[in-house]
């Protein structure tokens, strides 16, 4: 096993762990939001329902992608591309949602531990997944050059 193989194995584990942690954080946010249903009404309740739906879908979507990245030993760029694109899309949707429907009563609502952790994990998936894509592309490029 070469240094490159070790590096790719490490990236696989890092991206997989980040994806599964992100899924867990999404489900923790869903639990937190459902607990707040008891005290909310009107537009606050609607906002919480949208957030519950958003984070439930994100949490569910991360699970198969995490397994796909972990099982990907053939140096396929597909799982990394999906993980990076999905994380970018989630971050952009979240930013767009917060611009369209900012918190009504609590301006500090977005600075909770889970919200910050969720954003940090998404950015980490983007960075680590991009590095995984880069390593696969450079590895394939070296293979093609060696065949010439």
Nearest CA to 69 among 49, 84, 51?
84
Boundaries of every domain in the chain: 3-142
91 contact partners, CB below 8 Å, separation of at least 6: 119, 122, 123, 126
Position 111 scores a pLDDT of 66
Residues of the chain with pLDDT under 70: 1-6, 40, 43, 73-74, 101-111
Position 88 scores a pLDDT of 94
State the residue for tokens 């790719």: 8
């Amino acid at each position: 096993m070469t240094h490159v193989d070790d590096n790719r194995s490490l990236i696989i584990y890092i991206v997989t762990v980040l994806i599964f942690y992100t899924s867990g954080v999404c489900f923790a946010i869903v639990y937190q939001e459902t607990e707040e249903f008891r005290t909310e009404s009107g537009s606050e309740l609607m906002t919480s329902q949208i957030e519950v739906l958003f984070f439930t879908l994100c949490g569910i979507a991360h699970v198969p992608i995490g397994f796909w990245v972990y099982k990907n030993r053939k140096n396929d760029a597909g799982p990394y591309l999906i993980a990076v694109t999905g994380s970018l899309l989630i971050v952009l949707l979240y930013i767009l949602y917060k611009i369209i429907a900012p918190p009504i009563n609590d301006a500090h609502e977005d600075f909770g531990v889970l919200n910050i952790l969720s954003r940090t994990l998404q950015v980490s998936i983007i960075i680590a997944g991009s590095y995984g894509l880069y390593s696969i592309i450079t590895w394939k490029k070296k293979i093609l050059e060696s065949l010439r």
